[in-house]
Amino acid sequence: MYVKAVHLGLILRNIMMNNRFAGKKGIPEYWYNITADFPEMYVPSIDPATNKSVTAESLSKIYPESLVEQELNTRDRFIPIPEELLKMYQTWRPTPLVRAYNLEKYLQTKCRIFYKYEGVSPIGSHKANSAVAQAYYCKRAGFKNVVAETGAGQWGSAISMASAFFGLNSTVFMVKNSFDSKPARRIMMQTFGAEVLSSPTNRTSVGRDILQKNPSFQGSLGVAIGEAVESALNDKNTAYSLGSAMNFVCLHQTIIGSELKNQLESLDIKPNYIISCIGGGSSFAGIAFPFLPEKVRRKWDLNFIAVESNAVPSATKGAYTYDYGDSARLTPLSKMYTLGHEFAAPVIHSGGLRYHGLSPLVSKFILDGHATARAYSQLDIYNAAKLFAKCEGYIPAPESAHSIKAAIDVAAEHKNEEKNIIFCLTGHGFFDLAGYEKFNSGNMEDSSSPNESIRESLEKLQKSVGISAYGQETACASAVSGNTGFDSWWDKHFGGQQEERNASFAVSTGQKAVRNDLHNVLTEKKISDALRDNQTEIHVARSCVITPLAQELIKRSGIGIKYE
C-alpha cells in the first residue's frame, strides 16, 4: 500500500515499529557498523611514519578517544547512540521519505521514485548527523576547540552549529572558491560563532606553501583538510573534525539508512535502487550500508548507485590504491579510489564533490561489486535539478542533483517496469542560488573529465607513494564488469590463468571446521565466506598462494589455515 502523502516521515513519527532500529519516536537508537557484518570491508590505513597500520595512539593526537574506538571497531554490529544525541536528533529526525509523484508523471514511467530528504536539518543537509556526534565526543573528551574544513559549506555549517550546542570554539577552513561564491554559508557559520577562513591561508605552513607556488589557487578540500589537521596537531586543546570519508563519519550517517528501513518496512516497500552522490562518500554510506545484509543474505533485487561529478571522477577514473587524504600529506595513507592527493580539482558549483579521494569503506563497497558508479557533467545535473524543482517544489543542492539525475536515468531505463527507486536528497539549494542564476541565464560552463590532469596526478602519486600492481584499479567501471584490484595482482603473478579464482567454495552446514577441495589460491572473499559460515579453519594445498588482502583478513579474524 502506498500512502499518497508528501511527508511520509512526519506520519511515521507516530508509528510504532517492531524493529530493533526503531526508538520510541521512530529514530534509530543504534548506528550500524558494516565492518562487523562484512569484515573484508575494513582495510587498515597506514601510518607513513612507521609503514604499519594506524594505531589508536596515533589517531588520538587529533581525535577524541571515543571516535578513535569507532574508527577501529570491527566487532560490534550496533553502536548505541548516546541519549543526549538522540534528544538532539529529535530536532529534525526522522526525516521525511517523499514520493515524487509529479516527477514520475512527467517521466511517464511505471517506476516509483522516492527521496529521503535530509534538507530538513537546521543547517539544511545530512552533515548535521555526524557533526553533533563529533562535537559531543570532543566536549566529553575535554577539548576546548574544534577545527574543520569545508567545501561547499554544508560541513562547516554543521560543525559550527554543533560546536555552539556544546560550547566549543570552532574554526573552519573554507575552500576559497566556495568562500567567495557562497557568502550565505560563510555568514551562517559566523552566526553560529565560528571563525571562517578562506583556504589556502597564511595561517598554516600548508597554506603558505600553496600560496607561494600559486597565489591565485582557488583551493581544494585536500588543502583545507591539510590546514585543519596542521592546526589540530599544533594545539593539544584542539580536535580535528572531518565531515566525510572516515569510518566513524560513515557510521554516524547510517542513521539515514536505518531510519529509511523503518519507513519502508512500515509501508511494505522493498527498494530496487538506492542512490546517493559521492564526494567523500558519507551520505552514500549512510543510506546504503544498512541495506547490504538484505542484498547479500536475503537476496533482494537491490542495486546501489554512487554518483559523482565527471570533473572529479575518483570512482570512475581514479586508481584504487593507498593515498593521503590531504594535499599536505599529514594524514595516514588510506586505501581508496583516488585521483592523487596533488590533483587540482576544476572549479564546479558542486563544491562538496571536489575531493580527490573517497571513503575507504565506500571505495571497498564499490570495488567488491556491491555498487556501481556513474559520473555526470555540470549541465546534466543542473538540468535534472531544475526539472525536479519544477515538479516537486524543492530546489536541491547541486551535490544532491547528481542523485536526481541518476534516479531520472534509472526510471527511464526501466520505464515499463514497476521498480522502487530511492535516492538521498542530501540537502537544499537555498544557498546555491548563484549557481542556478548562472544556469538559468545560459552562462554556466559545462564540466568535463580532466583526463590529462588525472594522468599526471596519478603518475606523481606512483612516484611519491608507490602503487603496487596489486590493488591498483584505474577505473571503477571495471568493477561493474567483474574486475577488481585482484585482477591486476593475479595477472602479474599468474599471467591471466584465472580458472582457480572461480572455483566453487562449497561449505557444509553444521560444522565449524569444514573440509573443502584444497585451495590453491586463497582470496579475501573465500575467507569472508568461511567466516560467515562460522568456520574456524580453512584447508589449503601446501603450494597455496594467499593474496595480500586475504593475509590481512586472516590476521584480523584469527581464522586458522591448515596446509595439507
The answer to whether residues 480 and 462 touch, using CB atoms and an 8 Å cutoff, is no
What residues does each domain of the chain span?
A: 1-146+250-467, 499-563
Whole-model pTM over 0.75? yes
Q: What is the pLDDT of residue 475?
A: 36
Sheet holding 238-241, edge to edge: 195-199, 169-175, 145-150, 238-241
∠371-284-325 over CA atoms, to 5°?
100
CA distance 61 to 494: 43
Residue 289 has pLDDT above 50, yes or no: yes
pLDDT digit string (tens) for 23-64? 334 899 999 999 999 999 999 999 988 888 999 999 998 999
pLDDT digit string (tens) for 305-315? 999 999 999 99
Mean confidence (pLDDT) of the chain = 85
**Residue 480 C-beta-side C-alpha neighbours within 13 Å:** 12
CA distance 490 to 505: 18
Domain 1-146+250-467 = CATH 3.40.50.1100: yes
Average pLDDT over residues 399-427: 98
Backbone angles phi, psi at 195, to 5 degrees: -90, 125
Average pLDDT over residues 11-15: 38
Q: Report residue 500's pLDDT band, with 50, 70 and 90 as the boundaries.
A: very low
pLDDT digit string (tens) for 521-554? 677 767 887 887 888 888 877 656 676 567 778 8
Name which residue leads in pLDDT, 48 or 189.
189
Q: What is the pLDDT of residue 95?
A: 97
Q: What is the pLDDT of residue 23?
A: 38
Q: Is 200 exposed, middle or buried (0-12, 13-18, 19+ CB in 10 A)?
A: buried
pLDDT digit string (tens) for 126-151? 999 999 999 999 999 999 999 999 98
Listing DSSP states for 158-207 in one string gives HHHHHHHHTT-EEEEEEEHHHHHH-HHHHHHHHHTT-EEEEES-SSSHHH
CA distance 239 to 63: 6
pLDDT digit string (tens) for 314-349? 999 999 999 999 888 889 999 999 999 999 888 888
Q: For the chain, what percent of residues have pLDDT higher than 90? A: 68
